[in-house]
């Protein structure tokens, strides 16, 4: 695999189970009426491991989230992230069987470029590894936009990448970085404890 051809993919496993579309319309209207600030989005976003299977998300809503990822910065605007979206019940079930038993329980009910290169030459010592950084930014935009819309997510690193590659016909020159679930939280997740700022920041 040539470094300059390495792309970064994320599989989106949406929790598209049966639900009432009218409820979704009401939820969307409520979300618009109760628009939250960016600080609220940051404060309320969680890695959600329990989803409400009675609520659904439309393809149009998913597209809106993916449009937001295109605003994420990337090296020389190479946009190295690509998303494979599982929305049919069959595909969602297939993905849930490929992310490990614990992740499967957690989500129950629920990139085209060469980043790090410029004009064909590696720009710094990270090289293609920079694409993973760009992919993380893209994923961050996705999960924050999802939270702003009232949705919840879980990014999963444990997965059977070979089986996912087969399931979605993902080319060999695309590195599968993560699987992301999308749905509505069931209950209020616990607030995680953060390390003191002094442990993660140094001022000079």
Which residue ranges make up each domain of the chain?
3-200
3-state class (DSSP) for residue 73: coil
Question: In tens digits, what is the pLDDT along the chain, a chain of 204 residues?
Answer: 333 345 666 666 543 322 223 445 445 444 444 678 999 999 999 999 888 888 888 989 999 999 999 999 998 888 888 899 988 888 888 988 888 887 777 777 552 234 455 556 655 665 667 788 888 999 999 999 999 999 999 998 888 889 999 999 988 888 888 889 999 999 888 888 999 999 999 999
- Give the up-direction half-sphere exposure of residue 153: CA atoms within 13 A in the CB hemisphere: 23
Total residue length of the chain: 204
Q: Which of 99, 94, 26, 93 is nearest to 56 (CA)?
A: 26
Q: Which residue has 């189970």 as its token pair?
A: 17
Q: Helices (DSSP H) in 70-189: which residue ranges?
A: 89-96, 101-106, 130-148, 161-168
Per-residue tokens: 186:
């069931």
CATH topology of domain 3-200: NADH Oxidase (3.40.109)
Q: Which residue has 């080319």 as its token pair?
A: 171
């Amino acid at each position: 695999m040539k470094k300059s051809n390495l792309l970064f993919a994320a599989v989106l496993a949406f929790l598209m189970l049966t639900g009432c579309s009218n409820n979704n319309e009401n939820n969307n209207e409520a979300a618009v009426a109760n628009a939250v600030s960016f600080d609220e989005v940051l404060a309320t976003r969680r890695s959600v491991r329990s989803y409400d299977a009675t609520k659904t998300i439309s393809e149009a809503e998913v597209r809106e989230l993916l449009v937001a990822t295109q605003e994420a910065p990337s090296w020389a605007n190479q946009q190295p992230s690509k998303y494979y979206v599982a929305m049919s019940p069959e595909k969602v079930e297939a993905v849930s069987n490929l992310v490990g038993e614990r992740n499967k329980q957690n989500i129950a009910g629920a990139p085209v470029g060469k980043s790090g290169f410029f004009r064909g030459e590696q720009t710094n010592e990270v090289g293609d590894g920079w694409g993973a950084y760009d992919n993380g930014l893209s994923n961050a935009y996705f999960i924050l936009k999802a939270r702003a819309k009232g949705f919840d997510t879980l990014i999963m690193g444990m997965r059977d990448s070979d089986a996912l590659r087969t399931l979605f016909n993902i080319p060999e020159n695309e590195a599968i970085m993560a699987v992301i679930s999308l749905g509505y939280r069931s209950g209020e997740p616990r607030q995680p404890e953060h390390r003191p700022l002094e442990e993660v920041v140094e001022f000079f």
